[in-house]
Structure 1
């Protein structure tokens, strides 16, 4: 992880006085001007200056395949499975993995944007180098997290660029926050499946030193309109939250936005939640959405059944805010009905019981939130033989109350 952090500092434009000398320093100083499609060339040149060979692999939006970001005139490189390869292990565990097999020993280095997993780097050191030194000090960064990637990277991460997304789905994807974020007290990770087709799922969060807010939405239908309704719900709650308003005002804003902009019965289910990171006090509103789950000491101990109201866009009715108190190391699990209502070829639902069993097995395996979210969506997709009948989205949060950040 030290190598990945060093990479990200350089990628974010860390232009401190502590720079490499000579040609490499000049190269890193000029990286902020490199067009996205030339990043593989920059990586190659930077690696060459250090006596390394560096190749970037970006994970697809489904987090199942690592796709090489190769040079236009370079050799053809094969995509690598997240669940079936050493590079995939580096991605899953967020740990540098050495490989001594083959003609060229190498290091597979996780590539992170903060705590969000972007992919891995294939780092081939000079012959005879000691792979026991996994920190790879001085390794330059080749991907910048402080700007949006170019269209080439987006296409690469969409199943290798083999399918184009619907406009509604692309709108939702651009509105989502990073898939994973953390403070010293709190880690949150979300995933949406599918990423490329029209759907009505969306999620959001905001973190500060004293609080965390979460939101998840599921707009009715499977049309372009559904994507726009979900985008409007997300934008309404986010803009209201950003000017300092709480759950009541956020819920009212979502209601008024959907009913005002989409007359004719459009609505969205959803959960809005606020967590005080000092006390563990959780306040939440549930607008016709699946009940959040509370995971404690490896067991699902409670369904959060309070705060019920009509779906957003159908009028507030009686609006109440429910409360729950979390304990250190508790997990909060939000999901859309596309998870539990996923059906196999016999029409059998994935179901609540299967979801609970999955979460408790993952807790026993001590997987962190981003890996748990990835594995859950993979399990739901496998239950349906790879074809979803509805969007399936999850938002997992873990509160550790002052413990060290655990990505």
Structure 2
């Protein structure tokens, strides 16, 4: 049976033979050029191929074609012989590959404001209409990014909308509407939630197809990564996320924060700060490796003009020591020295440093004037690891390193004093342990969102201190 591919190979051979006749090369000279390119058939077999007696594999045909083309370039500068992929074959990517390639190619050297159009163009390769929504910094609403597909669309509440449910559960949600089905997929940068992707079918695309929904999740993840990358070199997308002005101190602290969520197969961590647009003295940090998770939270209060600078200095000193391989004692010393050297006026920062051995779940932590860590898990009551107060950073020691053992699935919470001291109008403090226990079944970033939102509601956004929260979950040994 004669196949399309065999007809293409025959057409390519005829063109090679015709062009070879115009090169002025002998068969031996052509074979030497072909051999230098890595060809592995003999001169006799090459002659048989040119006569149409002996077929060659695709890669060998293309090397012969290239040898002929090199000679034609020397003579006229024109490439005359087609390669295998050019003979009756459209090599352009299609379907999912076309969508992913379109996203990657389109995002190269593009202004951030152009990304919604790039995402929409990628969707057309799958017969889909895509619209990007980003979450605001308080994680209350999802706002559509400007673009053709965003016309007429409005902000959607995270707590009550279908789009918000996809965001809260880090998955996809399908709704049936008069105009047809609509799919919502979470936009992710790694494990950090950026927003959601609204997906509508065009032509014959079937959003009920599980395979298509999986492709949509891939598109959403890649889109989220590209959006996060673009935010680092432009403000156009970030302006959609912020709904209020930030002062210089809040801007500095937000720029120094790590991604709000990160995960490996052995650990998940998420953090947040409130008030989101007026944080003045709280920050957090973390680092994950194959064997260890490092966590830190710092609080310099809100009452002095130097709070933001002090907590930033503590964070920078901690990161520097950690990245040099220093242990908890080395990190502690680095923060103390940095505060003394840069301020020298008794400026202090409260905080907690911790590390978790991911192979056994051993928790080591050093507390400096702040709130002790809180551990919650199945089968036991919430408990603090240590309740003794220690001197804050910048005030010298001594401080003890405490050790505890996490159990599989345990939730570890590091937090600032401003969270537990958030008060209702009647003076009642925010019950952090109860709030954590009520939402513990959720993924860590959703726990952080819900707890901070509950604290904000409890004190009616009247925080007297910055509320910082860092949540981690250890699933247990592999």
TM bracket (short chain): 0.7 to 0.9
CA contact (8 A) 2:103 2:119 kept: no
Query: Is the alpha carbon distance of 1:321 and 1:28 closer, same or farther for their aligned partners in structure 2, counting shifts above 3 Å?
Result: closer
| More off after superposition, 265-274 vs 127-136 | 127-136
Corresponding residue for residue 241 of structure 2: 157
Deviations 1:172-212 (A, max 9, x none): 11111111111111111111112221410000000001000
What is the aligned counterpart of 1:286 among 364, 367, 372?
Answer: 367
What is the aligned counterpart of 1:330 among 388, 410, 427?
Answer: 410
Corresponding residue for residue 355 of structure 1: 432
CA contact (8 A) 2:133 2:197 kept: yes
Instruction: Name the TM-score, length of structure 2 as normaliser.
Output: 0.74
CA contact (8 A) 2:364 2:403 kept: yes
| More off after superposition, 23-32 vs 320-329 | 23-32
Deviations 1:70-119 (A, max 9, x none): 22896242111110100000000111001112424210011111111111
Deviations 1:286-339 (A, max 9, x none): 0011111111206434211167521011122x2321111111111111111111
| 1:117-128 → structure 2 map (5 Å cutoff) | 117-126=193-202
CA contact (8 A) 1:298 1:360 kept: no
Query: Is the alpha carbon distance of 1:310 and 1:106 closer, same or farther for their aligned partners in structure 2, counting shifts above 3 Å?
Result: same
| 1:67-78 → structure 2 map (5 Å cutoff) | 67-71=143-147, 75-78=151-154
Deviations 1:190-242 (A, max 9, x none): 11112221410000000001000100000033444211111111110011000
User: What are structure 1's unaligned runs of at least 5 residues?
Assistant: 1-16
Indicate the structure with greater helix content: 2
Q: How many residues align?
A: 378
Is 1:375 matched up with 2:455? no
Is 1:384 matched up with 2:465? no
Instruction: Give the aligned CA root-mean-square deviation in angstroms.
Output: 2.3
Corresponding residue for residue 297 of structure 2: 216
Larger RCO (CA within 8 A; separation ≥ 6): 1
Corresponding residue for residue 267 of structure 2: 186
CA contact (8 A) 2:302 2:466 kept: no
The structure with more radius of gyration: 2
Corresponding residue for residue 54 of structure 2: none
| 1:387-406 → structure 2 map (5 Å cutoff) | 387-402=462-477
Report the secondary structure of 2:113's partner residue. Answer: helix
Corresponding residue for residue 72 of structure 2: none
Instruction: Name the TM-score, length of structure 1 as normaliser.
Output: 0.87
Shift of 1:62: 1.3
Corresponding residue for residue 170 of structure 1: 251
Report the secondary structure of 1:136's partner residue. Answer: helix
Structure 2 CA distance for aligned equivalents of residues 283 and 326 of structure 1: 10
| More off after superposition, 380-389 vs 165-174 | 380-389
Is 1:319 matched up with 2:399? yes
CA contact (8 A) 1:337 1:392 kept: yes
CA contact (8 A) 2:258 2:285 kept: yes
Structure 1 CA distance for aligned equivalents of residues 153 and 304 of structure 2: 37
